[in-house]
Amino acid sequence: DRWMLQLWGGNEEQAYYAVAKNFVYIVLLATMSILRIFWKEIAEAHHHGNVDKMQHLYQKTTRILYFIGAFIAGALIPWSAEILNITVGDKYIDGKITFMIMLVYPVHQSMGQIGGAVLFATEKSKLQTIIGSIFMLTSLLVAYFVLAPSNSPIPGFNLASEGLAWKMVVMQFIQVNILAYIIARIFNWHYKWVYQIVVLGGAIFIGYFTKFLTFEMFTSVYASIAIGSFIYFIMILFLIYLYPAQILGITKQEFNSFLSNVYSKLA
């Protein structure tokens, strides 16, 4: 992917994509920190034949990590131009669309990591390898068509870094949902996917709404981002309080217990 982007997009498009991907790695830290613990718990539950515990762990962890990614994406996407200007300079603002698209990438990346961990922990690594290999080859073909110029022997769409970002997000969305569906069929679990659209779409909508409320109120962009982020956090927290099962896959009692523990530690 990166080689084709450099060949047909050049240094500038490569830079836009590289900056966006560095932010993605930061968001993925939450997934990596939880994944090892999840792997151990799933493997232990599978060893003891406790399918109900496996289902509870899988669905709860998937919802929580998906929400973390959506929460961060919703907070950052509306402020993409301002973040790029502050962190890497106004020369990178032209890469704003690439940056915005790539911020969605970690949201479903967490689902892929969890699905892979389930297959490996339950001794179904062959299935994971087959799925991964098919999508790796397909992804290369799609990358060619979104990056190749229109005058190539096999013409492409010449979409540069924006096209590569779209390819990453869309291909991953398809892959992780096929993986989730296969896992649900293997263990006879109910396959749920609507929450992905609701949670991610809701977070992005609230992010833009809070930016609309605060952007014209302050002369300082730092103040606007700070106050907007605080309002965003409060609104998201309120929605979680109202719908904890739909958003995080936990009961209201579990959520209240979590808030109590946090309050106690802060106090």
What is the per-residue pLDDT across 9-20, written as a single tens digit (0 to 9) for each? Answer: 999 999 999 999
Specify the amino acid at residue 31: T
pLDDT at 34 over 90: no
pLDDT digits (tens, 9 = 90+) for 201-225: 999 999 999 999 988 788 788 999 9
- pLDDT band at 38, cuts 50/70/90? confident
Which pLDDT does position 231 carry in this prediction?
A: 95
Q: How many CB atoms lie within 10 A of CB 48?
A: 9
Q: Which residues lie below 8 Å from residue 111, measured CB to CB, with a gap of 6+?
A: 62, 65, 66, 176, 177, 179, 180
pLDDT digits (tens, 9 = 90+) for 159-205: 999 999 999 999 999 999 999 999 999 999 989 888 999 999 999 99
Which pLDDT does position 235 carry in this prediction?
A: 96
pLDDT at 247 over 80: yes
Burial class (CB in 10 A: 0-12, 13-18, 19+), 161: buried
Which pLDDT does position 30 carry in this prediction?
A: 66
pTM attached to this predicted model: 0.90
pLDDT digits (tens, 9 = 90+) for 129-168: 899 899 999 999 999 999 999 999 999 999 999 999 999 9
Contact present, 45 and 121 (Cβ < 8 Å):
no
pLDDT digits (tens, 9 = 90+) for 64-119: 889 999 999 999 999 999 999 999 998 999 999 999 999 999 899 888 888 988 98
Report the half-sphere exposure of 55 (CA within 13 A, side-chain side): 13
Rounded distance, CA 108 to CA 65, Å? 9
Which pLDDT does position 260 carry in this prediction?
A: 87
**Residues 118-124: what's their mean pLDDT?**
87
Contact present, 199 and 243 (Cβ < 8 Å):
no
Q: Which residue in the block uniquely carries the two structure tokens 């961990």?
A: 117
> 22-26, 97-101, 113-117, 228-232: lowest mean pLDDT where?
22-26
Which pLDDT does position 24 carry in this prediction?
A: 84
Which pLDDT does position 143 carry in this prediction?
A: 95
